[in-house]
Amino acid sequence: MVRSLRREIRDERVLDAFARVPRERFVAPELRPYAYVDRALPIGHDQTISQPLMVAIMTQALRLRGGARVLEVGTGSGYQTAVLAELARRVCSMERLPRLAAEARARLEGLGYTNVWVRVGSGTLGWPDVATFARILVAAAGPAIPPPLFHQLAAGGRLVLPLGDQE
């Protein structure tokens, strides 16, 4: 998978993070043969794990440099969270679905990530009690940037999100 990402991704740190995160641990056992195919896969609860290229593009766009605190909106399976945790000092991840949050938290702990906090709540509200964040990543498309996220972005920070409809 990392080899195929090299066509689009130039940041070696991002590629190294992908090489360290076992994507098969973030999908159901019956989908593990497809874990490294560049496509979104179902994770239950009418949600998907994003295709690896999209995760890589968004991660590269953050321009993470080690000491950053990152807010991730949309934990999902925890895969993007793990990639971010390889590159950031602290990842605070918001998930609106309690069951997905619990599953992701268990996976991340099982893989030894100690620099990740997962919270259940509306990501559009951010995480004000631990703000500000050097970087904010929103996993799912929305029609506009939620204003609370602007207020939680540190001066000179970077916010990456897909804008527009779901298509």
Query: Where are the chain's structural domains?
Result: 2-160
Q: Which active-site residues does the annotation give?
A: 50
Looking at the DSSP bridge assignments, the partners of residue 8 are none
Note the pLDDT of residue 138. Answer: 96
Verdict on whether the full-model pTM lies above 0.75: yes
* pLDDT, tens digit (0-9, with 9 covering 90-100), for 47-77: 999 999 999 999 999 999 878 999 999 999 9
Q: Are strands 41-44 and 47-49 parallel, antiparallel or unpaired?
A: antiparallel
Span 2-160 CATH architecture: 3-Layer(aba) Sandwich (3.40)
Looking at the DSSP bridge assignments, the partners of residue 116 are 91
112 conformational bin, left if phi > 0, alpha if psi -120 to 50, beta if neither: left
